[in-house]
Amino acid sequence: MSTETLRAWLDERIGLQYLIELARKKDVPLHRHTIWYYFGGMTLFLFVVQVVTGILLLLYYRPSAENAFESVQFIMTDVEFGWLIRSIHSWSANLMIATLMIHMFSAYFLKAYRRPRELTWMSGVLLLGLALAFGFSGYLLPWNKLAFFATKVGTDIAGDLPVIGPFLLRFLRGGDDVTGATLTRFFGFHVAILPALTTFVLALHLLLVQKHGMSVPPSLTSHNLPRMKFFPNFFLRDLIGWILAVGVLAALAALFPWQLGEKADPFAPAPAGIKPEWYFLFMFQTLKLLPGRILFIEGEVIGILAFVIGGIVWLLVPFLDRPEENSRRTRWFTFAGIVLVIYIATMTIVGYLS
Amino acid sequence: MNTDIHRQRGFSCADCHGGDPATDDPTESMNPRKGFIARPAPKDVPAFCGRCHSSADLMKKFNPALRVDQEREYFTSVHGKRLRAGDTKVATCIACHGAHGVRKINDPLSPVYPLNVAETCASCHAKADYMAGYRIAHDQYDKYKRSVHARMLYEQQDLSAPTCNDCHGNHGATPPGVTSVANVCGQCHTRQSSLFQNSPHKAAFDALQLAECTQCHGNHDVLSPRDDMLGVTPPAVCITCHREGDRGYQIAEKMRQRIEELKRRLHEATEILDRAERAGMEVSRAKFELNETRDALTHARVLVHSFSLDELESVIGPGLQQADRVYRAGQAALAELSFRRKGLGVSLFFILFLALLVYLKIRDLEGR
């Protein structure tokens, strides 16, 4: 069967020609901010790395309080290249959240959420939430001391929410305490529920990007910008980034293998100076700095509510800002974004140093 | 008086001192004809307390678990015997327990609470002038404070660590004799004691009239045992009796060598695992397995008391084998580390080469 016949056969069944046309049509505007377009693709690539390495880890991982730690230890020591897969999974998770943040803030500052891309932004914010949930649930799976107490503290914070807090705490933990039930539950979230949700939201996000094409910053819309074909030109540039990312991940895994630590002991005291992963650190540090009581309400509860409201506001940014009018309001949003970045960076650094 | 256990249990002054509690007139209530005893003479103190404390029937009503033979036991002690002989300087019940304000022995403020016993004994035994006529040392307390036993008791607050009465007895306080020292130490150090009893040293020590454990370890100033107590170079205790050329000398020398060998190999294995761990390798299993060698070292140090090379070797041999296995695991981890680094180098070469190819492809595409 020749290539031509195969193509015709496929075209008749799945509309291959249409897909090829779509890919041909896709292009990327070239301007001084084009660099930021790479970060979405990089995040997507790292997500694919997570899926592949995660599936490989599933071949050996055993999700129970009795076996989890030992099975990860087995992966790290006895499984051929297990150390590489596990370290890449851990490092890639962190890099993915980093590139996701860069991608999100670049979209924010370039006002890429303006009409008609509101849903693209919102699906992106949902993906951020899903990525954080992936991080939080995956962190517990090795069942080591740090993970155990980080989960205890994290779920405690969720339990402080008014009204739904106690329910949420029990729902997350599968009981009153962090136990093997929590581990099994988090495993279910991490390898079934979150991937299913992410697949759906990610597909929507990519579909919308495909539909609307690349957003051009408001300051450049009037210019007649040169455009680059996505296939093959921009895609090949993406590819270079991905290949280099594989190199970086390999180097991190070989030179700084992800530590396993000690097995969790529910009866041991929490390790001193326990901290969450870096992407939660700014929130954690904020809660630590809040006073015990603010106007008859616990400071921590106010903080948690502020983060919830902040998240909702962040989701609704496209409806609150009006970038197309280039008004004072949109300049205020830019300024607020800068303040937010400075705040997150400062709190993260303070959290690390404290 | 308010803190006194007798008072708390409802006893009045008259219950001990006699007299008539029914009247407020002091001459009547404290009338010797009515049995009033203001202050018992030292020789009468044991009987004074023993009126109740030696009566099983009475004591059952208040503290059924308390023994009732303290008075009898007291007269078996050096204190009791000397008191009978008319020496009124010796300790009687009230010297240790107090007269008024007697507390339960598990009350931390009681003079006979484990943390306070040594201080209480020292209040007589550490006074040179008080002890002058007795021709016994008065430095026991100072020595004891330097001992491993005192360190456990006072620094680690381990109340099971021995203080004066654990070795000397309390009511029947007597220094353990040459032949009974081993039995006293063996109360806690059972393994060492039984090894010694079955060792060739037992007969030799008995023949020479040497106290067993204390001969090498000292009595009040028992220090933490160290490996250099064993062997043929100072400060080894073996060369106190053994001279070059005799069999004991050779065994002591060999024992020390074997223990040092085990320590050296344990150290090497620990070091290589630490290096691998610092480099990020997962070696926790090997580290756990090294505990077997640590246990072997601890066990070997105990087995020294058998003074038998074969006994020692039965533990040191497997310990060394385990240390070797762990050392090899450490070497394997370092080899794996170097393999990873080389593999990374090779991979990075191909990865960068691939990136270069894609870059050339872009140039080729856009050059056209």
Which residues does chain B have within 8 Å of residue A243's beta carbon, measured at their own beta carbons?
A: 351, 354-355, 358
> Taking CA A55 as the corner, what is the angle to CA A49 and CA A56, rounded to the nearest 5 degrees?
90
A147 contacts: CB under 8 Å, gap ≥ 6: A139, A140, A141, A261, A264
Which residues does chain B have within 8 Å of residue A255's beta carbon, measured at their own beta carbons?
A: 280, 341, 344
Distance (Å) from the alpha carbon of B296 to chain A's nearest alpha carbon? 25
Distance (Å) from the alpha carbon of A51 to chain B's nearest alpha carbon? 21
CB contact under 8 Å between B343 and A247, yes or no, is no
**Judging by beta carbons within 10 Å of its beta carbon (0-12, 13-18, 19+), is residue B11 exposed, middle or buried?**
middle
What pLDDT is stored for residue A23 in this prediction?
A: 86
pLDDT tens-digit map of A299-311: 889 999 999 999 9
What pLDDT is stored for residue B146 in this prediction?
A: 95
Kindly state the average pLDDT of the residues A53-78: 96
Kindly state the average pLDDT of the residues A28-36: 93
B363 pLDDT more than 90: yes
Which residues does chain B have within 8 Å of residue A233's beta carbon, measured at their own beta carbons?
A: 362, 365-366
- Which residue from B minimizes the CA distance to A260? B282
Please tell me which residue, A219 or A84, carries the higher pLDDT value.
A84
CB contact under 8 Å between B358 and A246, yes or no, is no
Which residues does chain A have within 8 Å of residue B281's beta carbon, measured at their own beta carbons?
A: 257
Q: Which two tokens stand for residue B140?
A: 């026991």
Long-range contacts of B48-54 (CB under 8 A, 24+ apart): B48/B16, B48/B93, B49/B93, B49/B94
CB contact under 8 Å between A243 and B355, yes or no, is yes
Q: Chain A contact for B347, CB < 8 A?
A: yes
Backbone angles phi, psi at A29, to 5 degrees: -70, 145
Mean pLDDT of chain A: 93
Q: Chain A contact for B41, CB < 8 A?
A: no
CB contact under 8 Å between B361 and A236, yes or no, is yes
Place of tokens 């979150």: A194
Distance (Å) from the alpha carbon of A85 to chain B's nearest alpha carbon? 13
pLDDT tens-digit map of B75-90: 999 999 999 999 999 9
What pLDDT is stored for residue B84 in this prediction?
A: 96
B180 pLDDT more than 90: no
Of B282, B359, B362, the CB nearest to A233: B362
Q: Which two tokens stand for residue B272?
A: 């290589």
Of B340, B354, B365, the CB nearest to A232: B365
Kindly state the average pLDDT of the residues A51-78: 96
Distance (Å) from the alpha carbon of A76 to chain B's nearest alpha carbon? 7
Kindly state the average pLDDT of the residues B328-337: 96
Of A84, A240, A259, the CB nearest to B359: A240
B252 contacts: CB under 8 Å, gap ≥ 6: B230, B231, B232, B236, B238, B239, B242
Find the chain A residues whose C-beta atoms sit closer than 8 A to any C-beta of B: 73, 76-77, 83-84, 232-233, 236-237, 239-240, 243-244, 246-247, 250-251, 254-257, 259-260, 262
pLDDT tens-digit map of B216-274: 999 999 999 999 999 999 999 999 999 999 999 999 999 999 999 999 999 999 999 99
- Would you tell me which residues 273-302 of chain B have a C-beta closer than 8 angstroms to some C-beta of chain A? 280-282, 284-285
- Which residue from A minimizes the CA distance to B365? A233
Distance (Å) from the alpha carbon of A35 to chain B's nearest alpha carbon? 16
Substitution target from B358, B359, B360, B363 for chain A, most A beta carbons within 10 A: B358
Kindly state the average pLDDT of the residues A315-331: 86
Q: Chain A contact for B344, CB < 8 A?
A: yes
pLDDT tens-digit map of A147-191: 999 999 999 999 998 899 999 999 999 999 999 999 999 999 999
Which residues does chain A have within 8 Å of residue B347's beta carbon, measured at their own beta carbons?
A: 247, 250
Q: How confident is the model at residue B367 (pLDDT cuts 50, 70, 90)?
A: confident
Distance (Å) from the alpha carbon of A238 to chain B's nearest alpha carbon? 10
Distance (Å) from the alpha carbon of A81 to chain B's nearest alpha carbon? 10
What pLDDT is stored for residue B175 in this prediction?
A: 87
pLDDT tens-digit map of A130-153: 999 999 999 999 999 999 999 999
Distance (Å) from the alpha carbon of B326 to chain A's nearest alpha carbon? 14
Is residue B300 within 8 A of residue B316, CB to CB? The reply is yes
What pLDDT is stored for residue B252 in this prediction?
A: 97
Of B282, B344, B365, the CB nearest to A76: B282
Q: How confident is the model at residue A1 (pLDDT cuts 50, 70, 90)?
A: low
- Which residue from A minimizes the CA distance to B338? A254
Of A76, A84, A247, the CB nearest to B352: A247
Local structure of residue B155 (DSSP, 8 states): I
CB contact under 8 Å between A243 and B358, yes or no, is yes
CB contact under 8 Å between A255 and B344, yes or no, is yes
Is residue A117 within 8 A of residue A216, CB to CB? The reply is no
**Closest by Cα among B199, B170, B164 to B97:** B170
Q: Chain A contact for B363, CB < 8 A?
A: no
**Closest by Cα among A342, A18, A64, A67 to A210:** A18
What percent of chain B shows pLDDT beyond 90?
85
CB contact under 8 Å between B358 and A256, yes or no, is no
Give this prediction's pTM.
0.79
- What is the spatial distance between Cα B281 and Cα A185, in angstroms, rounded to a whole number? 30
B368 pLDDT more than 80: no
- What is the spatial distance between Cα A114 and Cα A334, in angstroms, rounded to a whole number? 13
Substitution target from A84, A243, A248 for chain B, most B beta carbons within 10 A: A243
CB contact under 8 Å between B351 and A243, yes or no, is yes
Please tell me which residue, B25 or B257, carries the higher pLDDT value.
B257
> Taking CA B358 as the corner, what is the angle to CA B357 and CA B363, rounded to the nearest 5 degrees?
95
Reduce the secondary structure of chain A to three states and give it as a string.
Answer: CCHHHHHHHHHHHHCHHHHHHHHHHCEEECCCCHHHHHHHHHHHHHHHHHHHHHHHHHCCCCCCCCCHHHHHHHHHHCCCCHHHHHHHHHHHHHHHHHHHHHHHHHHHHCCCCCCCCHHHHHHHHHHHHHHHHHHHHHHHCCCEHHHHHHHHHHHHHHHCCCCCHHHHHHHHHCCCCCCHHHHHHHHHHHHHHHHHHHHHHHHHHHHHHHHHCCCCCHHHCCCCCCEEEHHHHHHHHHHHHHHHHHHHHHHHHHHCCCCCCCECCCCCCCCCCCCCCHHHHHHHHHHHHCCCEECCEEHHHHHHHHHHHHHHHHHCHHHHCCHHHCCHHHHHHHHHHHHHHHHHHHHHHHHHHC
pLDDT tens-digit map of B27-64: 888 988 888 998 999 999 999 999 999 999 999 999 99
Is residue A77 within 8 A of residue B280, CB to CB? The reply is no
B118 pLDDT more than 90: yes
What pLDDT is stored for residue B179 in this prediction?
A: 77
Which residues does chain A have within 8 Å of residue B366's beta carbon, measured at their own beta carbons?
A: 233
B76 half-sphere exposure, CB direction, 13 A CA radius: 12
**CB neighbours (10 Å) of residue B234?**
8
Q: Which residues, listed in sequence order, are joined to residue A94 by a DSSP beta bridge?
A: none
Q: How confident is the model at residue B176 (pLDDT cuts 50, 70, 90)?
A: confident
Kindly state the average pLDDT of the residues A331-352: 95
Which residues does chain B have within 8 Å of residue A72's beta carbon, measured at their own beta carbons?
A: none
**Closest by Cα among A84, A46, A55, A53 to A191:** A55
What pLDDT is stored for residue A325 in this prediction?
A: 67
Q: How confident is the model at residue B187 (pLDDT cuts 50, 70, 90)?
A: very high
Backbone angles phi, psi at A297, to 5 degrees: -115, 150
Of B281, B355, B365, the CB nearest to A233: B365
Q: How confident is the model at residue A239 (pLDDT cuts 50, 70, 90)?
A: very high
B209 pLDDT more than 70: yes
Kindly state the average pLDDT of the residues A279-298: 89
Which of A295-314 are b and which e, b meaning 16 or more Cβ less than 10 Å from the residue's Cβ? eeeebbbbbbeeeeeeeeeb
Substitution target from A72, A75, A239, A260 for chain B, most B beta carbons within 10 A: A239
